Amino acid sequence: MKNSTIADEKTEPLGMLGILKDALRLPLKNKNLMLFVTVSSILPLSLLLLSHQLLLRPLLVDLLIHMTLLSGERKNSKEALETMTQIRKDVKLILAFEVAYLLVVSIAALFALATTVYTAATAYAGKHLTKKQLLSRVFATWKRPLLTWVFIFLLCLSYFILLMICFGVLSLFVPSKAMAGFSIAFIFMGLGGLIYLVTVWALAMVVSIVEDNCYGVEALEKAIALIKGRRVQGFFLSLVLVVLEGVMSSLLRVVEKGRGKMSGEIEVGVVLIIGSCLVKLYADMVYTVFYFECKKRHGEKVKIEEAGNTLLPLLNVNTAS
């Protein structure tokens, strides 16, 4: 078994631009594996996103047609009751389709996240990883990021519920003339808090993938401890990534709304979907580099263990003495 520890190759901590640049350079350290990860991640995600757009539209059109018919029919008539029954069927079908889509796309996104983060982590550590070793690691440890993701989803849901409760209570004490300004300020505060939480949650996902026996609440606690001293940097990193993803999503919506009016709209849509997936993969690499920078700040090193072709576990994170 060969052991090596990542030394502090960069004595100076990286700034925000340094982290963004390092993440761009990571694919060059293991081009073949990163190409495999990119294709195996982008292909299913792109097909799912494209299929969602193409299949959901006719379902929504059917629902809209039936709702239009209902508005022109006499209340409680036989025709109106039949149309209402059809509307219920349309709604149930759309809900079932959306639940199935979210389930499948979540699995694909988790696979993409695990493969990207683990490949980026080993590349950053200067170690070579094969496809077999990568898939072995991902399939052997898939429960950890899944449990962490479920916990993060519940926290995200709780955060939005808490925001709505706080807004409802505070708005009772705000004069009607100041309501517009209060609403804008509250939205910005809520978004600011969410961006910070996104940073912690992303770091927790990296921890659950890279570190053995650290997932769920423990991964979140570890992420909160790691980000100390780098909260502002983490916030602005997430802000940049959120803006990038927001721009891609906005362009996709423009293409979707302009369907039938734009030439080559399908081709443009496919390019934008692939671009959105690439931005997501890049964000995963950025958070991986940020994880290593946080470890370095706290005097922790990552020990790499190579045992034949298994590399299980490959990354064993210890606190440096």
Give the whole-angstrom CA distance, residue 213 versus residue 246. 34
**Residue 43: what pLDDT?**
86
Give the whole-angstrom CA distance, residue 293 versus residue 195. 19
For the residues 70-87, what does the mean pLDDT come to?
Answer: 77
- pLDDT digit string, tens, across residues 199-239: 999 999 999 998 888 889 999 999 999 999 899 999 999 99
Give the whole-angstrom CA distance, residue 224 versus residue 208. 13
Q: Average pLDDT of the chain?
A: 83
The residue with greater pLDDT, 273 or 74, is 273
- pLDDT digit string, tens, across residues 49-73: 888 878 888 888 888 888 888 777 6
Banded model confidence at residue 272, pLDDT cuts 50, 70, 90: confident
- pLDDT digit string, tens, across residues 137-167: 888 888 899 999 999 999 999 999 999 999 9
- 172 and 257 Cβ atoms separated by less than 8 Å: no
**Residue 318: what pLDDT?**
46
**Residue 46: what pLDDT?**
82
Highest mean pLDDT out of 1-10, 131-140, 161-170, 265-274: 161-170
Banded model confidence at residue 321, pLDDT cuts 50, 70, 90: very low
Does the pLDDT value for residue 120 go beyond 70? Answer: yes
φ and ψ at residue 106, rounded to 5 degrees: -65, -40
Which of 71-85, 178-192, 294-308 is predicted with the least confidence, judged by mean pLDDT? Answer: 294-308
Banded model confidence at residue 312, pLDDT cuts 50, 70, 90: very low
177 burial type by CB count under 10 A (0-12 exposed, 13-18 middle, 19+ buried): exposed
Does the pLDDT value for residue 4 go beyond 50? Answer: no
**Residue 2: what pLDDT?**
47
DSSP string, 217-278: HHHHHHHHHHTTT-HHHHHHHHHHHHHHHHHHHHHHHHHHHTTTTSTTHHHHHHHHHHHHHH
**Residue 205: what pLDDT?**
95
Q: Where are the domains of the chain?
A: 2-319
The residue with greater pLDDT, 78 or 23, is 23
**Residue 264: what pLDDT?**
54
Give the whole-angstrom CA distance, residue 321 versus residue 318. 9
How many alpha carbons fall within 13 Å on the CB side of residue 308? 4
Which of 6-10, 11-15, 243-247 is predicted with the least confidence, judged by mean pLDDT? Answer: 6-10
